[in-house]
Amino acid sequence: MNTTTILGACPHDCPDTCSLVTTVQDGVATKVQGNPDHPMTDGVLCAKVSRYTERTYHPDRLLYPMKRTGPKGSGQFARIGWDEALDTIASRLAPLIATRPEKLLPYSYAGTMGLIQGESIAMRFFNVVGAAKLDRTICSSAGGEALTQTLGGKVGMKMGMFAESKLIIIWGSNSITSNIHFWRIAQEAKRHGARLVCIDPRRSETADKCDLHLAIKPGTDAALALALMHELITHGWLDHDYIAQYTLGFDDLRERAMQWPPERAAQVCGLDVHDIRQLAHDYAHTRPAGIRLNYGVQRSRGGGNAVRAIACLPALTGAWRHPGGGVLMSATHHARANNIGLQRPDLHTNTKAPLINMSTIGDALHTPGLVEAMIVYNSNPVAVAPESAKVVSGFAREDLFTVVLEHFMTDTADYADLVLPATTQLEHWDIHNSYGHTDVVLNQPAIAPVGEAKTNTQIFRELSVRLGLDHPLLQESDEALLHTALQSPSNLNSAAPVTWDALKQHGFAHWPVADAPFAQGGFPTPSGKCEFFSERLAAMGQDPVPDYLPNHEQADSQATYPLAMISPPARNFLNSTFVNVKSLRDMEGEPLLEIHPQDAQARQVNDGDMVRVFNARGSYHCKAQVTTRAQPGMVVGLGVWWRKLGPNHTNVNELTSQLLTDMGRAPVFYDCTVQVASLR
Ligand SMILES: Nc1nc2c(c(=O)[nH]1)N[C@H]1C(S)=C(S)[C@@H](COP(=O)(O)OP(=O)(O)OC[C@H]3O[C@@H](n4cnc5c(=O)[nH]c(N)nc54)[C@H](O)[C@@H]3O)O[C@H]1N2
Ligand SMILES: Nc1nc2c(c(=O)[nH]1)N[C@H]1C(S)=C(S)[C@@H](COP(=O)(O)OP(=O)(O)OC[C@H]3O[C@@H](n4cnc5c(=O)[nH]c(N)nc54)[C@H](O)[C@@H]3O)O[C@H]1N2
Ligand code: SF4
Ligand SMILES: [Mo]
């Protein structure tokens, strides 16, 4: 028997970006484990990726190109060869590309976070063609824009430094579910005496294990942050020297914060005024204090302002001065990989190309003449995009030509004209940055492609040939692209550049980031300071100082749809990925709606009843779980199930809206009101 181990990277949209060790016996992957030598992974993977071989060799894995033989959405497909598939696509796309390439839309997100199988050849292809541009907003663009306007980019504390924090505020994150390796670090801090505070409308698994849980009303975080500032300012719990040297706009921020006494915030947030005061006191008096801010706070109308308000806090107290102090939402811009070289935006010269927001794909597909053809890869929009009814009817358009690159027959693939089988992470090369930690992780192929699967890059290379696009950059090999990824000036000119040899040998390397990156300012903003006041936001006609913006949809017992609904991730799924892996689905059970006993009783809903959750956009059937994890007036539908596995073939996005956030044009998944009725 020939047994080897191969170093890889977890490809999923998770801040942990684990380093993997895959055991291969006679060409078959038998085990995927965490790399014990990678400090962040520490030899441990989550349950999902521990079962990676079950997903890779799943009996439903797409092994061949398929063409649709039934109506769109029916899931009826027949196997065809690669030649027929590529010829069909080329013959449909060639006339479009020749006359109106801007009607071709790529739709992709983070099915893989790999820089190579994500946006390299694919992006170059759409750039050369002059296709419509996709505004990739579905996850983090509200918070990303807010961080950029405040700190200058997606930058923050180094994740490992939370081990030194004495107070950790976990704000809008269920870390045990979605950031388990951070949770391990938080536990280490706790063993050294740190207090953990969780701010979350849901009593999550993480909230259960923290010293204090503040069950805030959804979408009200900015009010809480402003009240904390009010306390810091009125008590003089400020680092005046840090503020004077490294911040911009303190007077404006003070004026705003003074409008938010804790009593006012307590009302808005549904919190006890003493808890707000105590938190402000503890935040000011504990050194170092770290805030693990996460994406939960930025999925409602005022999400950008909320992130800006929270991101201002550590500059007021000077928490940034110490390792273990500051705020971390995303570390993306600490990485120094060469995205521009990989994606080559300069190749796009079609001035007629529109920018189409992926979060309102439902509306885009109903805008006459906007989209005639779509190539979907690394994403499952029919399941994950808001207001599914519109997404589904858009994808069902007979005059729309759709190609989907996938591992499985997802809800989206069901609407494709052609489905092309893509390789998984065990079958291709890639290189990964992380949005949680600051390491770069290499993925080496462990096994040969399963069935006739091809890499995303290879599919776009072959499509380019069929379409007669003879640009040499469309034929660059994956191995060459890996080197391109390391060729950024900021890596090459760094004192400790990441080299190919180090990466190949260890499977990972560290981008150089100081333990306390903003101890002496140096924020990547235009002013070099933490911008409480943002000139750039003012220029865009926005409020230059953070404020609280109420949700689009207000939960109110008198309203037609009186309950606020949030739909955060389920522990054993990764967005809509893994829903079809039986062992993981068995752990999640079935689509559930958490509802507080008070709200259940008022509707004669018993635990375990099938319920109809509905609003003007649609209705979703699932099982009620009567639990105090939900607070009164709020229900929780853990996401994101496949529609076709749901009792009435919908999922929670049947209910979410296409309204957008205050910044970043992002969706408001957690700003949504519904009504619930028993189906008994
Ligand atoms: N197991 C698992 N891990 C995942 C994912 C997954 O689907 N499953 N998804 C991945 C992806 S794509 C992302 S973007 C990240 C997300 O990472 P996080 O943003 O950390 O995600 P969640 O665990 O959903 O944490 C969000 C928490 O915010 C809470 N929340 C909802 N609304 C509000 C609010 O208005 N204010 C506050 N304070 N809290 C609120 C929710 O109840 C939830 O507990 O996780 C990644 N990791
Ligand atoms: N209601 C609600 N909706 C949400 C969210 C929520 O919290 N609540 N979260 C939102 C967030 S944060 C995000 S990030 C989005 C995520 O939305 P998506 O990025 O669409 O994520 P997934 O649902 O994981 O779908 C990714 C697909 O890519 C495929 N894939 C993986 N690797 C490869 C590859 O190498 N090649 C190809 N061709 N395909 C591959 C997988 O099989 C999977 O079907 O969902 C959003 N939707
Ligand atoms: S999903 Fe996250 S925790 Fe699980 S293996 Fe991947 S990076 Fe690690
Ligand atoms: Mo996400």
Exposure string for 469-482, b = 16+ CB within 10 A, e = fewer: beeebbbbebeebb
d(CA 517, CA 670): 32
Point out the ligand nearest to the CA of residue 651.
2
Q: Amino acid identity of 86?
A: L
pLDDT for res 308: 98
d(CA 662, CA 478): 39
CA of 11 to the centre of ligand 2 (A): 11
Do residues 324 and 341 share a domain? no
396-435 pLDDT tens trace: 999 999 999 999 999 999 999 999 999 999 999 999 999 9
| Ligand 3 pocket, CB under 6 A | 10, 12, 14, 16-18, 45-46, 48-49, 180, 574
Q: Where are the beta strands (DSSP E) in 112-242?
A: 133-135, 167-171, 195-199, 212-214
Region 251-280: what's the mean pLDDT?
A: 98
Point out the ligand nearest to the CA of residue 295.
1
Query: Do 676 and 605 meet the contact criterion of CB atoms below 8 Å apart?
Result: yes
Region 540-563: what's the mean pLDDT?
A: 96
**Given a cut of 90, is residue 56 above it in pLDDT?**
yes
Point out the ligand nearest to the CA of residue 44.
3
Residue identified by tokens 């997606």 is 154
In a domain, 546, yes or no: no
Domain holding 33: CATH number?
2.20.25.90
Do residues 33 and 97 share a domain? no
In a domain, 646, yes or no: yes
**Given a cut of 90, is residue 37 above it in pLDDT?**
yes
Q: Look up the domain containing 204 and give its range.
A: 157-329+517-539
Whose CA is closest to atom 20 on ligand 2?
A: 379
- Domain final residue, candidates 34, 56, 78: 56
| Helices within 429-526 (DSSP H only) | 456-466, 478-485, 489-492, 500-506
Region 435-442: what's the mean pLDDT?
A: 98
Beta bridge partners, 376, equal: 107, 404
Whose CA is closest to atom 4 on ligand 3?
A: 46
d(CA 65, CA 72): 17
CA of 201 to the centre of ligand 4 (A): 19
In a domain, 152, yes or no: no
CB atoms within 10 A of CB 601: 12
CB atoms within 10 A of CB 51: 18
Region 522-540: what's the mean pLDDT?
A: 97
Q: Name the packing angle between helices 456-466 and 82-99 (round to 10°).
A: 60
Token reading at 204: 């999550």
In a domain, 151, yes or no: no
Do residues 163 and 266 share a domain? yes
Q: How many domains does the chain have?
A: 4
Region 565-569: what's the mean pLDDT?
A: 96
pLDDT for res 326: 98
Confidence of residue 639 (pLDDT cuts 50, 70, 90): confident
Token reading at 77: 């497909």
Q: What is the pTM of this model?
A: 0.98
178-212 pLDDT tens trace: 999 999 999 999 999 999 999 999 999 999 999 99
Q: What are phi and psi of 550, to 5 degrees?
A: -60, 155
CA of 16 to the centre of ligand 3 (A): 6
Confidence of residue 465 (pLDDT cuts 50, 70, 90): very high
Q: Amino acid identity of 70?
A: G
Q: Are strands 401-406 and 418-421 parallel, antiparallel or unpaired?
A: parallel
Confidence of residue 1 (pLDDT cuts 50, 70, 90): confident
Q: What are phi and psi of 439, to 5 degrees?
A: -105, 160
Domain holding 284: CATH number?
3.40.228.10
Token reading at 157: 């504390």
In a domain, 584, yes or no: yes
Confidence of residue 275 (pLDDT cuts 50, 70, 90): very high
CA of 569 to the centre of ligand 4 (A): 9
CA torsion 109-621-411-564 (nearest 10°) is -10
In a domain, 506, yes or no: yes
Do residues 386 and 435 share a domain? yes
Confidence of residue 385 (pLDDT cuts 50, 70, 90): very high
Do residues 506 and 640 share a domain? no
Query: Do 314 and 228 meet the contact criterion of CB atoms below 8 Å apart?
Result: no
- Going by C-alpha positions, the residue among 574, 483, 437 that lies closest to residue 38 is 437
DSSP structural state of residue 601? H
In a domain, 113, yes or no: yes
In a domain, 654, yes or no: yes
Do residues 323 and 341 share a domain? no
Token reading at 435: 């949005």
Averaged pLDDT of the chain = 97
- Going by C-alpha positions, the residue among 416, 423, 344 that lies closest to residue 124 is 344
579-636 pLDDT tens trace: 999 999 999 999 999 999 999 999 999 999 999 999 999 999 999 999 999 999 999 9
**Given a cut of 90, is residue 680 above it in pLDDT?**
no
| Ligand 1 pocket, CB under 6 A | 13-14, 139, 171-174, 177-179, 199-202, 204, 216, 218-219, 221, 294-297, 300, 566, 568-569, 571, 573-575, 670
Confidence of residue 88 (pLDDT cuts 50, 70, 90): very high
Do residues 130 and 191 share a domain? no
Query: Do 238 and 316 meet the contact criterion of CB atoms below 8 Å apart?
Result: yes
- Going by C-alpha positions, the residue among 564, 553, 557, 551 that lies closest to residue 674 is 564
Query: Do 521 and 245 meet the contact criterion of CB atoms below 8 Å apart?
Result: yes
Query: Do 268 and 217 meet the contact criterion of CB atoms below 8 Å apart?
Result: yes
The dihedral of CA 339, 343, 346, 349: what is its sign? Answer: negative
Do residues 319 and 177 share a domain? yes
Whose CA is closest to atom 16 on ligand 2?
A: 575
**Given a cut of 90, is residue 16 above it in pLDDT?**
yes
Region 638-661: what's the mean pLDDT?
A: 96
SS (H, E, C) 31-85: EEEECCCCCCCCCCCCHHHHCHHHHHCCCCCCCCCEEECCCCCCCCEEECCHHHH
Do residues 269 and 369 share a domain? no
Query: 194 in helix, strand or coil?
Result: coil
Residue identified by tokens 């039934």 is 70
d(CA 254, CA 231): 11
Query: Do 115 and 485 meet the contact criterion of CB atoms below 8 Å apart?
Result: yes
Point out the ligand nearest to the CA of residue 437.
3
Do residues 27 and 106 share a domain? no
Region 477-481: what's the mean pLDDT?
A: 98
Do residues 343 and 463 share a domain? yes
d(CA 358, CA 667): 9
Do residues 269 and 398 share a domain? no
Pocket test for ligand 1, best of 178, 295, 585 (most atoms within 8 A of CB): 178
152-165 pLDDT tens trace: 999 999 999 999 99
Token reading at 108: 């992709």
